Amino acid sequence: MKMATATATREITPADFMMEPDPLALCGKATRIGYNGTQALVKRLYCDRWDCPRCARRKREEYKRRMRAGSPEWYVSDIPSEDYARITKQLRRADTEYWAVASGGEFRILAKNEIIPDARRVTSDAELDGTRDEVLTKEQNPLNGARKVRHGGSGSAQAGSSAPTTAAKAEGDVTMSESDRPTPRDGGEQWQWASVEESPEEVCAKLREAGCRIVWRDGNDVARVVDITPEGHRMLKSLFEKDQGPPAFSKLQW
């Protein structure tokens, strides 16, 4: 079974979406496939850019959920970007948890304590949602490498994970439990990663036809390929037969 090679010997990161094809066109549709000789993972690729309509919505809900954790009481300030370093230094020295959201030439700071002069006190979930919605918006352009949302101070180490998405899965697929999740330390060879333009559903359908079983988690964003058949191993190995150097997106031709 011959296919066009789509090889990357390292894991794809959001920065790789700056390559052609258009990252916004592939966002949520392209797939990275990991294989270590004994196990395989199929993951949906997101560009994680705030100028992407899909990711801006997804990331807004993720950060709203993370900011909502704990007490609804926050002190809110809007500061010019040139004051960001000085003020966040003050917050860290006071060991105060804070969120900073870039919006235009300003930052909206949500701090747990009243450190910044003239900060507005927010005490309800409804008011907090409005405060966040005003700045957790889609950008017209990338933020020149800067992060739109930053979390620091006490409690920042407990940042949450990405918000899961939901979608229909093929009949017979199951949800992955914590014990099912493989890691690079689970034996086998070193993990290799390839990127293809097809969706995880299309990739998994091909592997299912080869007799492999698919176990989904995070909605349908990540799937583990289990009980890999000899034909499935041949298909996965064919992804890495030739090293093309930097990551590239190719059409899957299984």
Express as a percent the part of the chain with pLDDT over 90: 35
Round to whole Å and give the CA distance between 45 and 11: 11
Same-domain check for residues 32 and 66 = no
Weakest mean pLDDT among 13-27, 153-167, 169-183 = 169-183
Same-domain check for residues 65 and 77 = yes
Q: With contact defined as beta carbons under 8 Å apart, do 253 and 4 qualify?
A: yes
Classify residue 180: in a domain, yes or no: yes
Classify residue 222: in a domain, yes or no: yes
CATH number at residue 58: 3.30.2190
pLDDT tens per residue, range 124-140:
878 888 888 888 988 88
pTM confidence score: 0.64
Weakest mean pLDDT among 10-19, 115-124, 173-182, 230-239 = 173-182
Q: Of 137, 172, 191, which residue constitutes the final position of a domain? A: 137
For residue 36, pLDDT beyond 50: yes
Classify residue 83: in a domain, yes or no: yes
Same-domain check for residues 241 and 191 = yes
Classify residue 214: in a domain, yes or no: yes
Classify residue 5: in a domain, yes or no: no
Same-domain check for residues 171 and 241 = yes
Q: State the average pLDDT over residues 15-29.
A: 64
Same-domain check for residues 169 and 203 = yes
Classify residue 113: in a domain, yes or no: yes
Q: State the average pLDDT over residues 84-96.
A: 93
Q: Report CA-CA distances (Å) from 251 to 79, 243, 244.
A: 47, 16, 14
Q: Which domain holds residue 98?
A: 53-137
Weakest mean pLDDT among 67-76, 152-161, 171-180 = 171-180
Same-domain check for residues 73 and 37 = no
The total number of structural domains that make up the chain: 2
Q: State the average pLDDT over residues 20-42.
A: 84
Same-domain check for residues 67 and 106 = yes
Q: How many CB atoms lie within 10 A of CB 7?
A: 19
* pLDDT value at residue 164: 34
